[in-house]
Structure formats: structure tokens, C-alpha cells
A = this chain, B = another copy of it.
Amino acid sequence: MPPAPPFLAACRRQPVPYTPVWIMRQAGRYMAEYRAVRTKLGFLELCRTPDAAAEVTVAAVEKLGVDAAIIFADILLVLDPMGAGVEFSAGDGPRIRHPVRGAADVDRLAEVDPAALGYVYEAVRKARAALRVPLIGFAGAPFTLASYLVEGGGSHGWNRTRGFMHADPGAWDALMAKLVRAVGGYVNAQIAAGAEAVQLFDSWVGALAPGDYRARVLPHMRALFAAIAPGVPVIHFGTGTAGLLEAMRAAGGDVIGVDWRVDLDAAWARVGHDVAIQGNLDPAALLAPVATIRRRAAAILGQAAGRPGHVFNLGHGVLPDTPVDHVRALVDAVHELSAR
């Protein structure tokens, strides 16, 4: 049997020849190849065109030399077959045409037939066939999806979302349960199509008090992890989660993804060394000179201390004005500096 690819080995805390690295939003606006495709296709159109989605997925891997691909898609796609009305306008970010503001709105959301997102699975199949590194599927986690539904789009502080949760916990739990069913089916269909790992993006869960996470999110996350097909590593990612790490770990996941706002060594000690960890360079550090980037990569590798189970990544998506050469320099630095 050939050795597992370093990315999958690290997710399973097996020894690796070097620390594997991939970059959140590695196929994105900072890359000329991606911008060229986007002159021909709108964002949603690109998501819904399997050949093009697979092409940008693979191109990013080839350009950067990263150890994993992530299928080009968006966490909000799953909300469209629920009837939420998802829109992406240039510059303004996502909009939800029919926000969820009460129990009746929750009831109105449709159950998702996973087949409605067949274009994603088709992109997964096409990308997988063209790749020499593992392919990650992904979905938004229920809290983060709920936060877009309640706010009607992005938000500075997700205050309305927390207000909804506090004011009507019953409706909140019904919403979360519906999202767990939708995300579970969606993720399993990506796995069936060939995704070799999955990342759950609970990008905005750091807005919550730990007690509210434990009461109103953790049970739903446990149900979701239980529903995901076994054998495929799951990365459980969030930002601003320095107060939530133990609870996120208790919820589930083979790899806990952390952002830069907590020291990697402190985070790993808190979630326990019996789980893998992903992270955690500040994406804005890629705006610094290459020498600084190499120094920052070395510092994070030093915090990981060569333990098995570290997947290097940024703490959140690469910023649009990042020089591609700086991202390549980071990938090279991680590989060089971690070589066993």
C-alpha cells in the first residue's frame, strides 16, 4: 500500500515527511487565473458550471503546490433549495431575499433534496479525476448558515442572530435541526462523489457566548457529525473561537481549525493532542515581505513542535489583494522548514 498523502495522514495524526499546507479560498480573486474565468462567468454561474468549478479548483493547486484541493463552491449554495433566495452582487457580498425572523419563517424553509445540488457533486467528480492531491468537500455549519438566514446577509456583529436565539430558543432549535438535515445530506453526497475529506465552516460561531454554544449549537453539531459518512476526516473550523475551543472539540471533528487570534500551541493544548489541528497564520501577514512571511511560518511550525496532526493553513480565507508570489512563498516555506 502506498503511503497516504501527507494531508490525509496529518488529518489522522499519522507521521508525515513534511507539514501539509493548503489555503482557505486558494482559488479566489487574488489569482489572475481565477479572475480570467470570472470575466466570463458570474460567481453563482461559476459555482453551477461543473467544468469551470473543477478547472479553478485544480488550477489553484497547480499554481501554489499545496497539499490539498478544496472544491470551488460557496457555503450558501445549500440555502437556495431551502427557498431562502440567495444572491451575490459584486462588491456587496451575499444577500438572502427571504430572511428568517421568526418561527413561521423557519417552518417555511423547505427540506433539501441533496440532488438539488448535483452540480457540486459533478464538479467534485471532475476535479477529483484531474487531481494528484486529496480533494476536500465542504459545507457551512448550521450556526453560520442560520446567521446568514437571520441577518439577511453578512453582518458586523451577528447581533440579530443572537437576539433570535435568545428570544425564541424553540424556533432556533427547529432552524438548526433543519439545517443539520440539509448539511448532512449535502456533505454525504459530496463524499459519495469523491471528496476525501470535509471541512465544516462554522465561520461566525465565535460570535457566541460559550454557554450559548453548549446549549444551542453543540447538540446540533453532534447530530451532524453523527450523520456524516464514517472514514472521511472532518475539519471543524471557526474564527474568533478562542473562548469556544473545548466545546467545539466536544462537538466533534477529526481536525479543529483555528484562526490566528489564539496561539496554536495554547489552542492545541486546550482541544487536546488526541485531535489534529489546522491553522493558523493571519491572512494579513501575507501582505508583509517574504522574509517576514517565512519567519511567521517558522513561528507557527515551532508552536506545532513537530507533533503529528498539524495541517498548516491561514486562519481564514486569503485576502483579495494578496500577491500570489507571497502565497507560493508561504507554501514553499512550510514545506522546507518542516521537512523531517
Residues of A within 8 A of B (CB): 154, 156-157, 159-160, 162-163, 165-167, 206-212, 240, 242-244, 260-263, 266, 282-285, 287-289, 292, 299, 315-316, 319
Copies in the complex: 2
User: Among the interface residues A154, A160, A261, A319, which one has the most CB atoms of the partner chain B within 10 A?
Assistant: A261
Report the nearest B residue to A262, measured CB to CB. Answer: B243
B-chain residues with CB within 8 Å of residue A163 when the two chains form the complex: 284, 287-288, 319
B-chain residues with CB within 8 Å of residue A154 when the two chains form the complex: 156
B-chain residues with CB within 8 Å of residue A240 when the two chains form the complex: 206, 240, 242, 261
Q: How long is the Cα–Cα vector from A4 to B134 in the complex, in angstroms?
A: 65
Report the nearest B residue to A283, measured CB to CB. Answer: B159
B-chain residues with CB within 8 Å of residue A208 when the two chains form the complex: 261
Contact A262 B210 (CB under 8 A): yes
Q: Which of B156, B210, B263, B289 contacts A243 (CB 8 A)?
A: B263
Contact A284 B242 (CB under 8 A): no
Q: How long is the Cα–Cα vector from A266 to B243 in the complex, in angstroms?
A: 9
On whether A261 and B209 interact (CB within 8 A), knowing A284-B163, A287-B167, A288-B167, the answer reads: yes
On whether A207 and B243 interact (CB within 8 A), knowing A167-B287, A287-B167, A319-B159, the answer reads: no
Contact B289 A167 (CB under 8 A): yes
On whether A261 and B167 interact (CB within 8 A), knowing A242-B242, A242-B243, A243-B242, the answer reads: no
B-chain residues with CB within 8 Å of residue A263 when the two chains form the complex: 209-211, 243
B-chain residues with CB within 8 Å of residue A160 when the two chains form the complex: 284
Distance of A288 from chain B, by nearest CB (Å) = 4
Q: Which of B212, B260, B289, B319 contacts A209 (CB 8 A)?
A: B260
Q: How long is the Cα–Cα vector from A178 to B265 in the complex, in angstroms?
A: 34
Q: How long is the Cα–Cα vector from A283 to B158 in the complex, in angstroms?
A: 11
Q: How long is the Cα–Cα vector from A266 to B209 in the complex, in angstroms?
A: 12
